[in-house]
Structure 1
Amino acid sequence: MPGTVCGTNYPLSICFIVVNEFCERFSYYGMKAVLTLYFVQYLHWDKDLSTAVYHAFSSLCYFTPIMGAIIADSWLGKFRTIIYLSIVYVIGHVVKSVGAIPTVGSSDMHIALSMIGLIMIAFGTGGIKPCVAAFGGDQFEEEHGKERQKFFSVFYMSINAGSLMSTIITPILRSDVQCFGGDCYALAFGVPAALMVVALVVFIGGSGMYKRNPPQGNVLLEVCKCIGYAISKRWKRSKHEEKKKHWLDWAEDKYSKRLIQEIKMVLRVLVLYIPLPMFWALFDQQGSRWTLQATRMNLAFVEFYHIMLNALMILIFVPIFDLIIYPLFGCCKINASKEMATGMIFAALAFGAATWVEVNVVKTVVNPAPAEKALLQVLNVAGSPITVNVPNNNLFPDPIAPLQDPAEYVTVPLQASSAELDFDIGWNNTNLKCVQMFNETTANSLIVYSEGGFLNTFSENVTVSIENLNYEIPPGFTMSQNKTVGRGVYSAVSVCHGTPDSCSDVDLGLLDFGASYTFVLSPGGGDSIAVTKMEDVLANNIHVAWQLPQYVLMTAGEVMFSITGLEFSYSQSPANMKSVLQAGWLLTVAFGNIIVLIVAEGAGLEQWIEFLLFAGLLLAVFVIFSIMAHFYTYVNPEELDKVYLDDSKYAARDGKKRRPSDSLQMNKPDKSTKL
């Protein structure tokens, strides 16, 4: 070993690998933290297109690892693959940053540079992703399995530390630093580019200390040929030929027993991976469904918390699990598959908690009107109580008092996409008829007066200034358009009517998250202005802190599932296929996102039902995975070197010919060690 950390069994080379991973993850997550806003605000794409491109980029980042793994295991080796694809990664970041400079070309040029940059970043980050973790594991001797297991925990912590810092810093760089007359996206993308350069320099700096396993040739092609030959031979076998214990054994007459045994090992692990995408389907919704859930909750004092909460909790949980939970599991003889299954349980419980939160959140949220229906509220400024009757619908059974705050919107059925509705209005012992046009899926306010936003009852124009927004409201019981302002107490809002000298400050009180208000302005005593505040849509009264339990449960599940699976993928793969199996592990993440798209876009369920469905699906997968894992036999890939020493394609380490062994005795690892 070239060098160790302070006399321990930890190679000094892993310090360079961990720092490299921290900088690379800072680079990746920092760029992604502002990517959607860049699409919407800078490229002026709509939200649907922005979301589609964002998820397409994310998916590509998890499909490209198989490319990097094949290159590393077959031709270049892990070290050179990381170097070359990191250069592609850096160039992609630079191109992306240049595309965010307004003075560079036209809008089409910005779009082209952005897409080229994102594609290069996807190939860079995806290509090195399976190599870095496996390369770190290569630095340890086989007898130092416990140290290698702790390395994967530290490695995972470096990922989340980089994620945490970048998701705090890059949004600040975008919004608080102004350049080219607006938000500085060029700087927000440029800093991640600089961190990727640092990652590359640090990794190269440790080149003299690394233990490098040379590539074994085009392993994947050899594997495919062996599998194809075995299938063909088994299909064409005669009835008199002796049956084989395993279908791959039909390739023994052409391929080495060692290669056949290695393929068996890899296939057993890949089969075990089949149920795993369901976990990632739940996990990745933290950045989509859970974030959207948070936007409908009260975010007082904790805005943007959801961006960094998972990464922060990972940094807290990993040391706790390493010092307490994993040793306890070791004492109880709980192996890797059982730990991963426990992680699934935690994730399912997290979605159970999310379901409970969602059920309570929807109570304060006004959903859009469905097809062939419209939302309606009635505002009475007539000075005396009124009754409103919609023919064939008892929507307003009680009289409506003057300036009464509407309790909630009611749903009005329409016969087509738009319809005229008749209203019978009783006022001062007089019945009046009113006809109004409504369009489907819209929200409407019916104003009843004797002779939405701010309602002007003055005889002249009224100007309301709030948060640098101006409302110009004509006279005659007209209403301003709705606008969005930040949450806060607005105790001195300027209201001007008539001449410039007629401005007054009015108190609007607290404007809370998620609420929609209508303010009726009318003359008060003297020169004062009377304000009547109506809450059309109730504020989000469920605080976002209620999401904390689901994040705690999901983070606990992630630590048990992801870190364990990462080390399991390394420990159960042959030396010449470690990157390929790491890529297979990462592919489960990509397929998990596909599951989300299928369920979320295809099922059309209410959100709480969808959460409950995902929890139920993961519990079902937990049962399937537990049964599959029960029949899985843990292996020690290094035993291949001791058993097949003189196989024709794998010379013995001492160069002497030995008789090939007819069978392979696999040693099970010490179950007290977490895999």
Structure 2
Amino acid sequence: MHTSVTVSRLTLTTVCGLLADDDIAYVTALDVLSEEMYPCLGQDNCYPLAFGVPAVLMIVATVLFVAGGFAYVKKPPQENVIFRVVSVVKTALKNKWNRRTESRNHWLEHYLDTHDCKMDTKCVELQESSKDVTACAETKFISDIRSLIRVIIMMAPVPFFWALYDQQSSVWMIQAVSMDVRITKGFKLLPDQMNSVNAILIMVFIPLFQFIIYPVCRKIVKLTDLRKMAVGGMMAAVAFIVAGFVQLGVNQTLPNEPPKGHAYVSFINAYSTNCNVIFTIGENSRTLGPNSALVDDKITNRRELLAIPLGDYSVKMTFLGECLGVQNSNHSLTVRLSENNVYYIAATPEGAFYSETDTKKPTSGRGESKLRLTLLTPCSQIQNATVRSWGCSTGNDDVNTYFGRIAICGYNPQAIDHPCDPRDKSNYHYYAWKTPESDFNRQRYQQFNGANFVEANGTAFEFTEVNEGRYRAYYVNYLHADSDRTPAKEEIEVYPIPDIDFEVKDVGGVYALTAAQNGRNSQQNVFNIWTIVPPNHCSIMLQIPQYVILTASEILFTITGLEFCYSQAAPSMKSVVQAIWLLTVAVGDLIIIVITEADFTSNVATSLFAYAAAMIVVMVVFILLSIFYYDYVDYTSTTSPVPTSPATSGHRSEIYDNISRISEKQL
């Protein structure tokens, strides 16, 4: 009865431990909810909110924990059992190799070669209490260590399970960042909120397994701890197989890296008129119609980017059709491909330029897209003198563009007095490029001037991550000093940039925006948006099955595993086996570090399948051990005879195996 009560308490402790492991998921959910209720308190960064909510919850949890202390039986710590086990093992090994004594049935018995019961207080106390001068306390302790070793051998797959389980917060999170987080219009399930799924499922699955699944299964097969662990381990492998197939879908929208020593090159024809441009670089030539570009999109099976060896090139552009003054002419643009990256070469009505671009998808995990704006409209086209003073204070206005702060705001046609309101909670979309050299830089381009090129200075506004929605671009002036605080509408002056009105419809895409004067004699801008990396197309809901399977695996493997280890360890070894169980978590994380640093593959899907295969191999070994190696041990027997020294009993190892064994194999 004592053991069953102990195991029941252990089950409760295990459940509480699992819930404690998922606290971060609850905190994340509450943190995100609080932010949605009152976004950032007017700040661009929510550090006080992000750290304040967990801090308050931790204080509440600590108070509740201390308040419940009276319900616990507080036993003072005794000896250090772990240290004693290490000492016995060390002495046994030393005696085995350094002393020439007769053979023993088990190498641990060599510890008794140098053991003297007369000098051991535990042995003396045992002999006095049992009135048996041959009684030896260390003999029983060696038996307990042997049981511990058997349990440790059966714990071999546990670290690898943790190596899979702990990737929920790393690999699976990264996978979710590259997925479509939109569930319904206006509702998103963000990657960091997916961790809450595991916590919710734990709360549901524990009673489900305890009161429904286990009783039903017991009517069909005999349930044992090792059988449940075997099924749980295999389910963990299945979860990673499912995750691998999901990743194959995610990979369809991830950019490819250029071959070593090469760069990918895209051409852009930004003309809106009937103007075709023939681009030629090296031996490669492509003809692009108006408002078109070369793209790589695995979803639509378009693989158009050119892999060009690194070096300097002269790109020839031939203009055919209605090309606003440069039709039927040839122009050349010198480009340098110096990095294994992606470059785009653009021909616009204002001029031609090239730029290296970023192909990394947004990493904030907020369901955003990433875009940059290249502004080629010269300052001479800005009619408002005040706006020119914000970013056109020096140089020739005919060859220099506005070089100052701009912002894009969520479009609100009803906001007439303040068309750009950074704090409008109903349309909370405001992104500003504020700092020169950090947020925006000069972009050299060759301005068309009849049949000739003139060197000019555009402005490249660096990539920023934006939510889906409709936007307008504005020249902006801050009336007060800059800070991380989102300004109020009264604290900024804005002036719309003509013709830059666009909509971001998807999440996870990477886009390049260009705005240029629509011909030398035009007062209008021509605005284009180009897809560099396609948006995410796999719904984040596709992760639900792998979370369900892994959570079920967690119930079967971790709760049952700790119960098995605790019940199968000798009473004196229970604290040791719990410590070793906790150590397996660290070993599992170490496995992840080693495999990650080895960098066997850059394909996440391949890595997920490899983890699944390795887990299957580990579990096959575990099943074989369960069948051919391990027998259950029952420590509820209270009739065990007093252990005696091998020196007085013919060195029979059976003297310290006076426990009732269950002979039936586990699988």
Q: Shorter-chain TM-score: which interval?
A: 0.5 to 0.7
* Code of the aligned partner of 2:463: K
The counterpart of 2:465, out of the listed 478, 485, 490, is 485
1:583 is matched with which residue?
579
- Structure (1/2) with the larger strand percentage: 2
CA distance in 1, matches of 2:56, 2:267: 53
The counterpart of 2:28, out of the listed 155, 163, 167, is 167
CA distance in 2, matches of 1:271, 1:146: 21
For the pair shown, the structure with the greater C-alpha radius of gyration is 2
1:99 is matched with which residue?
none
Question: Shift of residue 291 of structure 1?
Answer: 0.4
1:217 is matched with which residue?
79
1:340 is matched with which residue?
229
Report the TM-score, using the length of structure 1 for normalisation: 0.67
Q: Secondary structure of the equivalent of 2:552?
A: helix
**Kept in 1: contact 2:265–2:308 (CA 8 A):** no
CA distance 1:388–1:567, shift in 2 (3 Å): same
Count of aligned residue pairs for this structure pair? 512
Which sections of structure 1, spanning at least 5 residues, go unmatched? 1-139, 649-659
**Kept in 2: contact 1:643–1:661 (CA 8 A):** no
CA distance in 1, matches of 2:664, 2:526: 75
Question: Shift of residue 514 of structure 1?
Answer: 1.5
Q: Secondary structure of the equivalent of 1:446?
A: strand
The counterpart of 1:400, out of the listed 250, 267, 288, is 288
Question: Shift of residue 538 of structure 1?
Answer: 0.8
* Code of the aligned partner of 2:104: K
2:342 is matched with which residue?
443
2:635 is matched with which residue?
637
CA distance in 1, matches of 2:78, 2:584: 25
Q: Which has the higher contact order (CA 8 A, sep 6+)?
A: 2
CA distance in 2, matches of 1:414, 1:517: 24
Question: Shift of residue 666 of structure 1?
Answer: 2.7
**Kept in 1: contact 2:263–2:343 (CA 8 A):** yes
CA distance 1:662–1:449, shift in 2 (3 Å): closer
CA distance in 2, matches of 1:350, 1:161: 19
Q: Deviations over 1:163-210 (max 9, x none)?
A: 443232345668856599963166245314413531441342224xx2
2:509 is matched with which residue?
515
Q: Which moved more, 1:269-278 or 1:214-223?
A: 214-223
CA distance 1:524–1:205, shift in 2 (3 Å): farther
Q: Deviations over 1:494-520 (max 9, x none)?
A: 4569x9876668641234221122334
**Kept in 2: contact 1:299–1:543 (CA 8 A):** yes
Question: Shift of residue 348 of structure 1?
Answer: 0.8
Determine if the alignment matches structure 1 residue 302 to structure 2 residue 264.
no
Q: Secondary structure of the equivalent of 2:291?
A: coil
* Code of the aligned partner of 1:621: V
Question: Shift of residue 616 of structure 1?
Answer: 0.9
**Kept in 2: contact 1:458–1:523 (CA 8 A):** yes
Question: Shift of residue 594 of structure 1?
Answer: 1.0
The counterpart of 2:542, out of the listed 539, 546, 552, is 546
Q: Deviations over 1:204-252 (max 9, x none)?
A: 2224xx2x6664423233323322333334335658x3x4332223334
Q: Deviations over 1:104-158 (max 9, x none)?
A: xxxxxxxxxxxxxxxxxxxxxxxxxxxxxxxxxxxx8335477447535643564
* Code of the aligned partner of 1:318: I
Determine if the alignment matches structure 1 residue 202 to structure 2 residue 101.
no
1:426 is matched with which residue?
318
CA distance in 2, matches of 1:614, 1:558: 16
**Kept in 1: contact 2:374–2:461 (CA 8 A):** no
Aligned-residue identity in percent = 23
CA distance 1:330–1:586, shift in 2 (3 Å): farther
1:391 is matched with which residue?
282
2:598 is matched with which residue?
602
Q: Deviations over 1:470-499 (max 9, x none)?
A: 468999694532332332221x524569x9
1:381 is matched with which residue?
270
Determine if the alignment matches structure 1 residue 414 to structure 2 residue 309.
yes
The counterpart of 1:231, out of the listed 84, 93, 96, is 93
* Code of the aligned partner of 1:619: I
* Code of the aligned partner of 2:111: A
* Code of the aligned partner of 1:248: L
**Kept in 2: contact 1:339–1:561 (CA 8 A):** yes
The counterpart of 1:454, out of the listed 373, 385, 389, is 373
Aligned pairs for 1:345-384 (under 5 A) are 345-369=234-258, 371-381=260-270, 383=273, 384=275
CA distance in 1, matches of 2:41, 2:475: 33
Question: Shift of residue 611 of structure 1?
Answer: 1.1
Aligned pairs for 1:254-265 (under 5 A) are 254=115, 256-265=138-147
CA distance in 2, matches of 1:329, 1:214: 41
Q: Secondary structure of the equivalent of 1:413?
A: strand
Q: Which moved more, 1:161-170 or 1:140-149?
A: 140-149
Q: Secondary structure of the equivalent of 1:274?
A: coil
**Kept in 2: contact 1:258–1:644 (CA 8 A):** no
CA distance 1:315–1:189, shift in 2 (3 Å): closer
* Code of the aligned partner of 2:96: R
Which sections of structure 2, spanning at least 5 residues, go unmatched? 116-135, 183-187, 297-303, 321-327, 352-356, 358-371, 383-401, 410-428, 434-439, 448-455, 477-492, 646-652
1:48 is matched with which residue?
none
1:469 is matched with which residue?
431
2:623 is matched with which residue?
626
**Kept in 2: contact 1:385–1:399 (CA 8 A):** yes
CA distance in 2, matches of 1:166, 1:486: 25
Determine if the alignment matches structure 1 residue 667 to structure 2 residue 527.
no
Q: Secondary structure of the equivalent of 1:167?
A: helix
CA distance in 1, matches of 2:549, 2:505: 33
2:118 is matched with which residue?
none
CA distance 1:165–1:235, shift in 2 (3 Å): same
* Code of the aligned partner of 2:317: I
1:248 is matched with which residue?
108
* Code of the aligned partner of 1:142: T
Q: Secondary structure of the equivalent of 2:290?
A: coil
Q: Secondary structure of the equivalent of 1:643?
A: coil
Q: Deviations over 1:400-454 (max 9, x none)?
A: 1122143237253334xxx212323332355544321122133322112465833
**Kept in 1: contact 2:140–2:643 (CA 8 A):** no
Q: Secondary structure of the equivalent of 1:508?
A: strand
Q: Secondary structure of the equivalent of 1:286?
A: helix
**Kept in 2: contact 1:335–1:671 (CA 8 A):** no
Question: Shift of residue 455 of structure 1?
Answer: 4.4
* Code of the aligned partner of 1:315: M
- Structure (1/2) with the larger helix percentage: 1
CA distance in 1, matches of 2:25, 2:593: 26
CA distance 1:457–1:216, shift in 2 (3 Å): closer
Q: Secondary structure of the equivalent of 1:375?
A: strand
* Code of the aligned partner of 1:410: L
CA distance 1:509–1:521, shift in 2 (3 Å): same
CA distance 1:437–1:372, shift in 2 (3 Å): same
Q: Secondary structure of the equivalent of 1:204?
A: helix
Question: Shift of residue 529 of structure 1?
Answer: 6.1
CA distance in 2, matches of 1:349, 1:510: 37
Question: Shift of residue 159 of structure 1?
Answer: 2.9
Q: Deviations over 1:636-658 (max 9, x none)?
A: 2343x53144769xxxxxxxxxx
Determine if the alignment matches structure 1 residue 614 to structure 2 residue 611.
yes
CA distance in 2, matches of 1:176, 1:205: 41
